[in-house]
Chain A
Amino acid sequence: MQRRSLFRRTFDRPMTSMEKYLLAIILVYIVIVAVKNPQFFSLETLFDMIRNGSGIMILALGVLVVLISGGIDVSFTAIAIVSGYTSVRLMKVLGFDNLLFVILVAVVIGAVLGSINALLIHFFRLPTLIVTLGTASAFHGLMAIALGTKTYTAIDVPQSMLDFGSSSLLTISAERSQYSLSVFFLIVLACIVLTWFLLYRTMLGRMVFAIGSNEESASRIGISLLRTKLFVYCYSGFLSGLMGIIYFSGLSYINPVSLIGTELMIIAAVVIGGAKLTGGEGTILGAVLGIIIVQLFQSTLVFLGLGASWNNLFFGSVLMVSLGIMYYRQRQLNKRSLVFSSN
């Protein structure tokens, strides 16, 4: 009987080559930084990185589902800001302060905006990139016209959100300071498990893979394209709405013109993780590793004593090399199995 590795027992599949490659980059990079600056290798750094990366990790899960379904969504940062900001404003107008309410309203608005994307994409048969490019501007423009773009500093941020941003699962006191594992970590874990369950343990998830691989054949075997797309974009909107509240709470500062413009970096991170732009392929672990790489590069420049431009150089190089390897291997494989397709 063949012995199964810990990985296989947990994930019930072998590790993809992309995941191995990313894991190796991460480990090598951590060793380099730790050698250069021993301060880096600490629990405190890890906790801080988890806190800072949790928002984009949640967004990345939505991006992954959309990519698997064969689409590209660039409106998710706009949806995060619009639903988060609208929800906070609504709560302020109603004059009370409740975290559950603000999250609930944000995820509902996020899901509704996502469903608008899905309906436009489905009924007008439009390319997803173009639809979401349009709706991103339209959603944010509508919010700016209807609500304005006033920023809220810590005094005006609802107390429940401030508490949420600073609540922790575990606080460790060091000699000079204290550091803590943010409650965001739990939320990210929950989102990962939920996404895993939806993608791999439900019919809906299989349908998402099916329409991503080939929409025509998926539709011929009786999969409802509308229903599947509604799910994909509503789920992405739902995660974006949740992220909006986490983002504002974590910063204890509400700025409705922030975040937008970072979407391509997050999409790139998920693509590094092995999700195909042409749909049908992608793993949660890959997306998680992709985001870890982004986060790692972003938050080690001070330790390495490098300027912010190095981050772009690192990230760009990893992106190009990863995609180069991924598509080269695919072509080799295709050649061997005599498949002559464009992707």
Chain B
Amino acid sequence: MITKRRLITGMVVAFATVAMATGCSSVGDVGGGAPAAAAGGSEGAFRIATVSKVEGITWFQRMSEGVTMFNDDNSDTVEAWQTGPDTGDSAKQVAIVEDLIAQGVDAIIVVPNDPLGIAPTLKKARDQGIIVGTTEAAALVGTDAIDFDIEAFDNVAFGEGFAKGLAEAMGGKGDYVGSVGSLTSESHMTWFTSAVAYLEKNHPDMHLVADQPYENDNDDAKSRASAQEIVNAYPDLGGFLATTPSGGSGMASVLKEKNITDIANVSLSLPSVSGPDLDAGWMSYAQTWDPAGWGYALNAVALAMLNGETVATGDDLGYDGYNSVTVDGQLILGNATMELRKGEPAAPYAF
């Protein structure tokens, strides 16, 4: 009996400890939708809430800067702020949106963790007259869960951008392999396959030597180990194309260690991550987009809709990459691909 009681005590203590570590922050996040300023905000201003996938990481911190910029530019008519779950969890995101609906905000912007999972909640918001905008949610385009969806770029064109960078760095010939976060990631696979298709068509001397891209789980240690193995397994390798920041920096670190200068390394990356490698030559070319642009452009469209205006092809949403958008029904396409090369200062982009 004593051991049983001990076990129960143990479990209670352990759960209490876990709850202490995680509980406070998640409760705070769900409840803390509106900023303190919201209570005393200007009368009659539209209240627009942006919900990120997860708060606290650089990428979405940068997105919130775009939201803040938009808020400052339109402070007389808008109160815009960003919130989000403390882990990339779809259920927590749903809870935050439910909370925002209850608060009666005028528009909700979401970067969904699971677009189809959150759709019913978004539909509920729309039924109550709230404007709903999303990004990275092409699956919701054409449904009644959203009013509009902004994609930073056309995924096929983004993939071809990698291909062009790789072809340039390899001089249009040689063997190359690819590495994606996971084979089930739709955007990564679209980028990779469209890059390969572009190279097959335009650079017949470039050969993909492993039909399937390798997986790096977007994990730093795995990416590095995988890059090392790739370099050893393909002694004639001329190029490497990664669709995750860790993929490119893992390869850069291996090339540096082994002092290999004839493998072109092209990757999705962030300016803060790829800057030193691009400058030192361990990475040839990187591509990204600025999440602050998402924050700004999504809020701009929401405000336009709240004002009863429509957004049409060619409109300027007020942020680089969204100066002339393409509108197709609910889908709004930007041209926000950001190219990162040697010598181009990363300093202005703090992400």
Contact = CB atoms under 8 A, between A and B. Distances in A.
B272 A153 contact: yes
Contacts of B231: 177
Interface in B1-45: 6-7, 9-11, 13-15, 17-18, 20-22, 25
Nearest to B86: A144
A305 interface: yes
A119 B260 CA distance: 50
Interface stretch (A129-137, A283-291, A325-333): A129-137
A258 B56 CA distance: 15
Given A130-B11, A251-B221, A305 B232 contact: no
B21 A140 contact: yes
Given A177-B259, A302-B214, A154 B17 contact: no
Contacts of A176: 235, 260, 262
Interface in B213-232: 214-215, 217, 219-221, 224-226, 228-232
Contacts of B7: 127, 130
Contacts of A142: 21
Interface stretch (B191-199, B273-281, B306-314, B331-339): B273-281
B1 to A, nearest CB: 14
B229 A138 contact: no
Given A141-B20, A307-B215, A124 B249 contact: no
A124 B17 contact: no
A141 B22 contact: yes
A314 B232 CA distance: 22
Interface in A236-255: 247, 250-253, 255
B262 A138 contact: no
B121 interface: no
B228 A52 contact: yes
Interface string A284-300: 00000000000000111
Contacts of B221: 52, 247, 251, 258-259
A45 interface: yes
A149 interface: yes
Contact of B18 (A44, A137, A253): A137
Contacts of A217: none
A40 B10 contact: no
A247 B5 CA distance: 40
B143 interface: no
A149 B13 contact: no
Given A137-B17, A141-B22, A253-B220, A178 B232 contact: no
B305 interface: no
B201 interface: no
Place the interface of chain B in its size category: 35 or more
Nearest to A125: B6
A44 B232 contact: yes
A160 interface: no
Contacts of A45: 229, 232
A75 B278 CA distance: 37
A308 interface: yes
A179 interface: yes
Contact of B225 (A145, A177, A299): A299
Contacts of A138: 17-18, 20-21
A305 B210 CA distance: 8
Given A131-B14, A134-B18, A176-B235, 14 more contacts: A39-B235, A42-B232, A45-B232, A48-B232, A130-B10, A150-B58, A153-B273, A154-B276, A154-B277, A155-B276, A177-B260, A251-B253, A258-B221, A307-B183
Interface of B: 6-7, 9-11, 13-15, 17-18, 20-22, 25, 56-58, 183, 210, 212, 214-215, 217, 219-221, 224-226, 228-235, 249, 253, 256-260, 262, 272-273, 275-277
Q: Which 9 A-B pairs have the closest CB atoms?
A: A141-B21, A134-B14, A134-B17, A126-B10, A177-B258, A302-B229, A130-B14, A177-B260, A308-B215
23 contacts: A39-B232, A52-B224, A126-B6, A127-B10, A130-B10, A134-B17, A134-B18, A141-B21, A141-B22, A145-B25, A151-B58, A154-B276, A155-B276, A176-B260, A179-B257, A258-B219, A258-B220, A299-B225, A301-B229, A302-B214, A302-B233, A307-B212, A307-B215
